[in-house]
Copies of this chain bind each other. A is one copy, B any other.
Amino acid sequence: MAVRIGKQTVKLESKPRIISTYTVVGPKEGQGPLKDEFHNVLEDDMCNCESFEKAESKMHYIAVQGCISNAELKESDVNYIFSGDLLNQLFSSSFMARDISIPYIGMYGACSNMTETLSVAGMCVESGCGKYVIASTSSHFSAAERQFRMPLEMGSQRAPTAQWTVTGAGAMMVSSVQEKDKPYITYITTGKVKDYGIKDPNEMGAAMAPAAVDTIRQHFEDTKLQPDYYDLIVTGDLGKVGKSITEKLLLEFNIDIRNNYIDCGDEIYDDENQGTNSGGSGCGCSASVMGSYIYKRLLNGEFKRVLLISTGALLNSISPLQGESIPGIAHAVAVEMGES
């Protein structure tokens, strides 16, 4: 049974383990600084499909199958799959789930999907409902651009604060089986929607930063831990601009994370040479970085404790046209490698 700690945090007592992961990214991500970390780098981001959306769904499918295979399981062993993506009505997740035979729960938290699905997968295992449960998500640059911003064919100039949606998918297998050489979920801090009035869809980092700050602050308040408890505090896709805002805002609460803080969107590209402006974004960003680079270093003991905070901007293509600002959300999941 989980224990509620403070206002927004729970401690999972059953140690749901992340027993496998799989990540797949597009060619651009495969040329970035983390190129040797991913399980699979696509040569062609169309993935032999007819549309960007179908390509994203296929990539999502590859990640899920890879995750099942890495756990040395079959589809029929898996009790639930919790999945989400950025596309309208979860095109990528729904059509991925059509091609597998696993009970499916669709989720939407924009780019916070990785920790949103991972949180619920953790709860599901903790409740005894699931023995093997997948959390997965995906995003695709070209599908996201034409849905949220402009058709690529227009060749619009990108704002300096704009981020580049990661073409990538990640899946993680959460299990009650105590494989002691695998990391487990300790704390879950579920975020509230925060809106500080940012209206420019090219300022997603700034729109999401207050949500990240709120969830990180609440996590430390609830757990009474200090930031140096973690070897690594990782936000999902705030990019350079959002990362810098997050650091500064947290200092106002006397929380200094600068020594052990990275942002997946800041790590995945070489912004200067890859033209990605403020860095990476999209659900696939934290999914592919957590499922590869960070997960590998949890396995080899380089990191013992990691706090992952994926961040989402809950706009759609018509909400800014109706005069609405961009609400943000962030969910935190703590993952640890322990002795027991």
Whether the pair A106, B116 counts as a contact (CB closer than 8 A) is yes
Q: Give residues 1-19 of A contacting B (CB, 8 Å).
A: 1-4, 8, 10, 12
A35 within 8 Å of B by Cβ?
no
Contact in complex: A79, B4 (CB < 8 Å): yes
Bound CA span A327–B106, Å? 13
Contact: A128 with B126, CB < 8 Å?
yes
Counting every copy of the chain, the complex holds 2
Is A10 a contact partner of B54 (Cβ separation < 8 A)? no
Min CB distance A326 to B, Å, is: 10
Interface 9-mer from A23-31, A90-98, A165-173, A259-267 = A90-98
Please determine whether A107 and B104 come into contact, CB atoms closer than 8 angstroms.
no
Please give the distance in Å from A251's CB to the nearest CB on chain B.
Answer: 24
* Cross-chain contact of A88 among B126, B195, B316 (Cβ < 8 A): B316
Interface size grouping (class) on chain A = 35 or more
Instruction: Tell me if A329 is interfacial: C-beta within 8 Å of chain B.
Output: yes
Q: Taking A50-B322, A105-B119, A108-B84 as contacts, is the C-beta distance between A193 and B94 under 8 angstroms?
A: yes
Instruction: List A residues at the B interface (Cβ < 8 Å).
Output: 1-4, 8, 10, 12, 50-51, 53-54, 79-80, 84, 86-91, 94-95, 97-98, 101-110, 116, 119-120, 123-124, 126-129, 131, 188, 190-193, 195, 314-319, 322, 324, 327, 329, 331
